[in-house]
Chain A
């Protein structure tokens, strides 16, 4: 969607036009969903988080001044909600992993994702400090650029790279038992 059209939709949504907001959201909801899923690994939770984020974003939209792109701004809201969700689960002493009933069949999943490795990787990811985990998920799993990740996390590209380096190093140590070739 051209930037001018998006700005127009944002203006209309700021004035209370629900249809404009719906159109705007359609452009970004899938990637926002992937961001949520990257943190919670559960379709139902990802859907709840996205829904909450979209409502929060609408309420906060009058204050959106366009300093960042709308997509980046939405990702930040999604990420904060997802982190809160994960924190709440940790606090309750139970961490949601992929509920088999909630996840649709995925034909092209890599082999290791269908094995026990997936749970190990998820656990190792969730044991990372918050910023390192966020960077690894956004940069590596979601494929966002270093700059986009920096915008979402309100930090410089250098900081993103540092957190990515440290996060991957910790993951490597924690998952060294999975594959002999991991140093």
Chain B
């Protein structure tokens, strides 16, 4: 047996006679025993007598009215460009803008925050040697050792290539991985790092070399046939320390200082 509230919501249909037989009987039984709903029914009945019933004002309008309306509408319809096939990457890019507004805003905000962080970091590092030349000596031209600068740049370039290669290496569970090349490269890089640490490096470069040394040490100690979990562990270290990002930042800073130095020499 449906409750009083549920029945009450069916009273309009009951009075209008649009309920199916079962529901009609159900409501009928309830109304017979519920003075409140009986009163409600009487009220709705009286209301329907005052309220106009289903109307069809459109039926009273002449065919010319509709013809004219359709002509007016058709005349105002804009021409639609035919759909052209667009490359998949454009469709994907466009899909970003078709996202619900809140998602697009969140995405845009994240992008702006990322740009602000990168720009802020870059500006800070860029001004570091200028603001505090005595405290933080940049590894480039201010050190007055072009040979050290060149070796540091090469060290970073090789380290980046190594990390990128390790990150992109396909891993299949159960298959052993040959890391002999990476191991040799890492050993050479560790040797180079030891040399660089003896040179007057700026704080950023010294910290970066220290971080890279940990990864290179891990790689240098890998077995001939490393297993997937071991590689994943090293990859995790690269990602946790944001090493590729840090290398790129350092390279950008060095390029900027080099460019400024060249500009100042003219």
* Chain B residues near A (Cβ < 8 Å): 8-13, 39-40, 42-44, 46-61, 65-66, 69-70, 72-74, 76-83
CB < 8 Å neighbour of A178 from B9, B50, B57: B50
CB of B43 within 8 A of CB of A169, answer yes
Kindly list chain A residues whose C-beta atoms are within 8 Å of the C-beta of B52. 110, 112-113, 118, 121, 141
A50–B77 Cα gap in the complex (Å)? 14
A100–B78 Cα gap in the complex (Å)? 35
Interface string of A62-94 (1 = CB under 8 A from B): 100000000000000000000000000000000
* Chain A residues near B (Cβ < 8 Å): 15-16, 18, 21-22, 25-26, 29-31, 33-34, 37-38, 43, 46-47, 50-51, 54-55, 58-59, 62, 104, 106, 110, 112-113, 117-118, 121, 136, 139-143, 146, 158, 161-162, 164-165, 168-169, 171-172, 175, 178-179, 181-183
- Are A55 and B58 CB-contacts (below 8 A) given A158-B9, A178-B50, A183-B43? no
CB of A171 within 8 A of CB of B80, answer no
CB of A51 within 8 A of CB of B47, answer no
CB of A34 within 8 A of CB of B56, answer yes
Kindly list chain A residues whose C-beta atoms are within 8 Å of the C-beta of B55. 34, 37-38, 141-142
A21–B60 Cα gap in the complex (Å)? 24
Which of B13, B42, B50, B60 has the most C-beta atoms of chain A within 10 angstroms of its own C-beta?
A: B50
A158 closest partner in B (C-beta): B9
5 cross-chain pairs, A with B, having the tightest CB-CB distances, nearest first: A16-B80, A183-B43, A182-B46, A30-B58, A161-B9
CB of A183 within 8 A of CB of B77, answer no
> Smallest Cβ distance from A116 to chain B, in angstroms?
12
CB < 8 Å neighbour of A33 from B57, B76, B79, B83: B57
CB of A121 within 8 A of CB of B60, answer no
CB < 8 Å neighbour of A143 from B9, B39, B54, B83: B54
